[in-house]
A and B are shown apart, each in its own frame.
Chain A
Amino acid sequence: MRYLRKSAWLFLVLVALASLGAGFWAPADYATQFREAPNSPPSHQHLLGTDEVGRDRFSRVLYGTRVSLLMAPAAALLSTLLATLVGGVAGYLGGWWERAAMAATDLFLSMPWLFLLLAVRAMLPLNIAPITSVAVTFLLLGLLGWAASARVLCAGARGLRDSDFVLQARASGLRGLRLLAIHVMPNLKPVLLAQFWISIPVFIISEANLGILGLGVEEPLPSWGSLLRELESFTSFGFEAWKLVPLGLLILVVSSFQIILSRDEVYA
C-alpha cells in the first residue's frame, strides 16, 4: 500500500515540478496566439493541439497547473478550517450555541451568494492583475464553501460531546481547547478530509464559472477551470481526445490527493 501512496506523492510532485518549470518545458508562451492554426489537432509543434485562438494547449496546461494546484488546495484548507470552527465547536459546545450556529449555517446554505460575488466584483477595480483576481476568487470560494460540512461536523461533535471517552477526559480534568484538540478533532477527521478533498475540484471548476461575474482567471492567464470550459460546448463533442487531457490530469490529481489523505482509514 505504501507503494500506492508513494506513487500518488510522486505523481503530485512531478505535476508540481512540471508546472513550476513551465517556463523551461513549455514550447510556447501561454498567451502566444498561432493564428494560422486555431483549433488544430496535436502535431510535432503543438503536442496537445491549439485552442480556439491558436494558443498551444500543452503550454497552457503547464502554466494553468501552477494557478490551480496552488490556489485550490489553499482555498479548500480555508473552507475546511471554517467548517471546523463553526460546525465542530458548535456541536461540541451544544445548547444555544449549537442552535444558533446551525440556524446560521442553514441560512448560509440557502442564500443567493451570487449577488454578493457580483457586489464584490463591482467594488474591485477593473484593472487588477490577473493573479490578484484569481487569489480573490479562491479566497471567496474558501469563505463561502464551508457550510455543508459544518453541519456534518456538528452532528459528529454532538455525538462526541456525550461519549464515554470525552466524559472520562473531562473527569480527569481536561478542559476547553485541549480537550477539543486531543479528543474531539481527531475523531472528526473523516469529515474534514472529505470536505478538503471535495473542495479541490469543486473550487477549480467554480473558479472558471465565476468568469461570468468578471472574477476568476483573467485572459490570457490559463487555469484548469478555464481549460475545462472548452468542454462545455456541444461542438467539443467529437473524437478530439487531446482536449480531454486537462480533465484527465485533474482526475488524476484529485484521486492522488484522496489516496494520500485517506491513508489512515483504508490503506493502513
Chain B
Amino acid sequence: MKRRPLALVVFLLLSLSAALGQSGGELRFYLHSDPKTFDPLLVADDASETIRYLTGGVLVRVNRRTQQAEPELAASWKIARDGRSITFDLRERVYYSDGTPFSAADVAATVQRLMDPALHSPTADSFRSGAGAVRTHVDSPARITIAFPAPVAGLDKLFDQVAIVSSRSANKQRAALGPFYVADYKPDSYVLLKRNPNYWRRDAAGRQLPYLDSVRLGIQPNRDIEMMNFRRGDIDLINWLDSEYFDRLAKQSPSLVHDAGPGLDSEQMWFNQVPNAPIPAYKRAWFRSTNFRRAVSAAVNRADLSRVVYGGHAQPAVGPISSANKFWFNAKLHAPAYDPSGALRLLQQDGFRLQGASLRDREGHAVEFSIITNAGNKPRERMATMIQQDLAKVGITVHVVTLDFASLIERITESYNYEGALLGMVNMDLDPNAQMNLWLSSAENHQWNPRQKLPETAWEAEIDRLMKEQAASLEPARRKTCFDRVQEIAVEQQPFIYLVNKNALSAVAATVANASPVVLRPQTYWNIETLSVGVQTAGKR
C-alpha cells in the first residue's frame, strides 16, 4: 500500500518530462524511397534531403517559422559590400559525431568540393552567379572568407543547404555535425539515425540537444500504407498529407492533423509556344496570343478547384510566388477572377467566335487542344477534368491525356510534342533566384518556350532584364521591386496559368511533444532538436 504514492509520483514525473519534451525516445516516420545518396553535396531527391536536414550541420539555418536566417555553426557572418564574398565567424569547440574537431578547414574543403564543376551538385548551381572559380580563405581556425566571381544575391540563406563535411574523418559522409548521424541503413527497409553525442546545441536549461535518442526512417513508397501505419501507431508523423487523407483522419482524430495554410508549391498549366514544336501553326498562334491565355485563365474556376479537388485545403493561386512566402509575395496581385463572359470577350478581340457550342478561330478552326498531366496524381487528373468542363462553357474542347512521368518529361523537354500541360512546381527555396532557370528565356526550364537564343517577346525580354537585375543587386528592397514586376508580368501574360497553392497538411501523433508544423519543408520536423516522443499508446488512432 505504501508503495503506491511513490509509484504515482514516479509516473507523474515521467509523464511530465515526456510532456515537456525532454525524455528522448525514437521518432519514426517514412521516406518514400531509398535515399539516392548520403553525400550531402549531391542531394537531389526528397529522401536524401531528409537525411541531410537531420544529420548535416550548416553554417546558417533558415528558421522555417520566421523565414529568417539564423546563426548555426557560424556564430555570425558578414557579406561584403560588393556582394562577392562572405566571411563567417565559426563556433568553437564543435565536434563531429566521430569526435573530429570542426574548423574553417572543413568549410573550405566543403565549399571547394561543392563548387567543383565536375561534381555537378544541384546545390552548387544556386551559387553560380558568374564565370570563374570560387576562392576560400581560411583566416583562422574559426574564421573563413568565401569569395565568388560575381555578386550572389541572398547569399547567406543559400548556406542553409550546405552541410559541412568533415575533411579529416575516415568516413567523411557519415561524420555528422547535425543533431543525428546515420547509424544503420538497410536498403529498401530503413535508415536509422542516432543522436549525435557531440552535438553543439543546448536548450535554455543547458541540456544537450536533441532530446530524441534516435530517428527511424522506414522506407515506404506507398502512401496508403503510410496512412494506415500512422493510424495503427507504427509511425509518429506524416510530413505531407493528401487532402482526402487529411479529411478522413480529421474526422476521426481532429487533434492529430495540422493544416498550416497555403504552402510554397503551386499547380499550374501552360501552353506549348515552342516555334518548331510539331503542332499545327494555327494552334501555336492561339497559344502565343496573350488574349487567348488570359481568356483560358479567366475561364478556369479556381475556387471550385480548391474546394472540390482539395476539399478547401488549397487557395486559388495568384502567380509564381505563393502568399506563404512572406517577403517575396507581391500583395498587390490577386488571383484572376472566374469570368467566362470576360473570357469570351477577350477571345473575340482575337477574332474567335462562338458557332453553336463550339468556339472557332478567325480561319474557322474549332478550338480544341489536349492537356497532358502525370498519371496517378489524382488531384491533377481531377483538376484537368474540371478545367475540361470549365472550358467547354466557352466552347473549347479539351482532351485530357494522362502520361507516365518519363513520357511526359520527354514531351515537355525534348520532343515538344504536346499542346497544353498541367503540372506542379515544388518551391524548396524562398528566394526568387531559385526560379532563375524558370524565368530566363534562355533557360532549360522556361517551359512554355525554353532555350531561346534571344527573347522572342518584349515581355520575356523584360523578365530577363528584371531577373538579372535582382540577382545582381544586394539591396533587398531593389530586388523586391524587380521581382514584384516579374510577378505582375506573369499575371498579365499568363505564360503559366497558375491554378492553386496547396495547403501544407500534415499529421503528428499525440505522443510527439513540441511539434509545431509550418508551411516550409520539412513541415513537421523542422524543429527536430526539440521534438521528443513520449509514452506510446497502443491501438488505433
A interface, CB within 8 angstroms of B:
31, 33, 35, 38, 52-54, 118, 121-122, 126-128, 130, 211-214, 218-220, 233-235
Cβ-defined contact, A219 with B388, below 8 A: yes
Cβ-defined contact, B308 with A212, below 8 A: no
Q: Which one of B368, B382, B402 lies within 8 Å of A212 (CB-CB)?
A: B402
CA A54 to CA B389, docked complex, whole Å: 12
Output the least CB separation between A236 and chain B (Å). Answer: 9
B403 cross-chain contacts in A, Cβ below 8 A: 121, 213-214
CA A214 to CA B402, docked complex, whole Å: 5
Known: A126-B370, A219-B381, A235-B244. A212 touches B419 (CB 8 A): no
CA A4 to CA B418, docked complex, whole Å: 52
Cβ-defined contact, A54 with B308, below 8 A: yes
A220 cross-chain contacts in B, Cβ below 8 A: 385, 388-389
B248 at the interface (CB under 8 A from A): yes
B245 cross-chain contacts in A, Cβ below 8 A: 234-235
Residue of chain B at shortest CB distance from A128: B399
Residue of chain B at shortest CB distance from A55: B385
B400 at the interface (CB under 8 A from A): yes
B interface, CB within 8 angstroms of A:
224, 227-228, 244-245, 248, 304, 307-309, 368-370, 372, 375-376, 378, 381-382, 384-386, 388-389, 399-404, 407, 417-419
B386 cross-chain contacts in A, Cβ below 8 A: 33, 35, 53
Q: Which one of A35, A212, A218, A219 lies within 8 Å of B376 (CB-CB)?
A: A212
Residue of chain A at shortest CB distance from B243: A235
11 interchain pairs, CB-CB under 8 A = A35-B307, A35-B308, A53-B382, A121-B403, A126-B370, A126-B418, A211-B375, A212-B404, A214-B403, A219-B381, A220-B385
Cβ-defined contact, A214 with B389, below 8 A: no
CA A54 to CA B388, docked complex, whole Å: 14
Cβ-defined contact, B407 with A122, below 8 A: yes
Cβ-defined contact, B419 with A126, below 8 A: yes
Classify the secondary structure of B's interface with A.
helix
Cβ-defined contact, A126 with B376, below 8 A: no
B227 cross-chain contacts in A, Cβ below 8 A: 234
Cβ-defined contact, A235 with B400, below 8 A: no
CA A218 to CA B401, docked complex, whole Å: 7
Number of A-B residue pairs at CB separation under 8 A? 77
Add 15 more A-B contacts to A212-B376, A218-B400, A234-B224 (CB < 8 A): A35-B308, A35-B386, A118-B404, A122-B407, A126-B401, A127-B369, A127-B370, A212-B375, A212-B402, A214-B375, A214-B403, A214-B404, A219-B384, A233-B244, A235-B244
Residue of chain B at shortest CB distance from A124: B401
Residue of chain B at shortest CB distance from A126: B370
A31 cross-chain contacts in B, Cβ below 8 A: 389
CA A218 to CA B371, docked complex, whole Å: 12
CA A121 to CA B408, docked complex, whole Å: 11
CA A33 to CA B417, docked complex, whole Å: 30
Cβ-defined contact, B407 with A214, below 8 A: yes
Output the least CB separation between B298 and chain A (Å). Answer: 18
Output the least CB separation between A10 and chain B (Å). Answer: 36
Known: A127-B368, A211-B375. A234 touches B228 (CB 8 A): yes
CA A38 to CA B400, docked complex, whole Å: 20
A234 cross-chain contacts in B, Cβ below 8 A: 224, 227-228, 245
CA A5 to CA B79, docked complex, whole Å: 86
A122 cross-chain contacts in B, Cβ below 8 A: 407
B381 cross-chain contacts in A, Cβ below 8 A: 219
Cβ-defined contact, B382 with A52, below 8 A: yes
B404 cross-chain contacts in A, Cβ below 8 A: 118, 212-214
Output the least CB separation between B421 and chain A (Å). Answer: 11
Q: Which one of B304, B389, B402 lies within 8 Å of A211 (CB-CB)?
A: B402
Residue of chain A at shortest CB distance from B247: A235
Output the least CB separation between A137 and chain B (Å). Answer: 13
CA A118 to CA B402, docked complex, whole Å: 12
CA A54 to CA B403, docked complex, whole Å: 24
A214 cross-chain contacts in B, Cβ below 8 A: 372, 375, 401-404, 407
**Chain A to chain B: the 8 pairs with minimum beta-carbon distance, closest first:** A234-B224, A126-B370, A212-B375, A219-B400, A214-B403, A235-B244, A219-B385, A214-B401
Output the least CB separation between B343 and chain A (Å). Answer: 18
Cβ-defined contact, B308 with A38, below 8 A: yes
CA A52 to CA B384, docked complex, whole Å: 13
Cβ-defined contact, A233 with B308, below 8 A: no
B248 cross-chain contacts in A, Cβ below 8 A: 235
Cβ-defined contact, A118 with B407, below 8 A: yes
Residue of chain A at shortest CB distance from B410: A122
CA A121 to CA B403, docked complex, whole Å: 9
CA A54 to CA B305, docked complex, whole Å: 12
Residue of chain B at shortest CB distance from A216: B402
CA A211 to CA B407, docked complex, whole Å: 13
Residue of chain A at shortest CB distance from B368: A127
Cβ-defined contact, A121 with B370, below 8 A: no
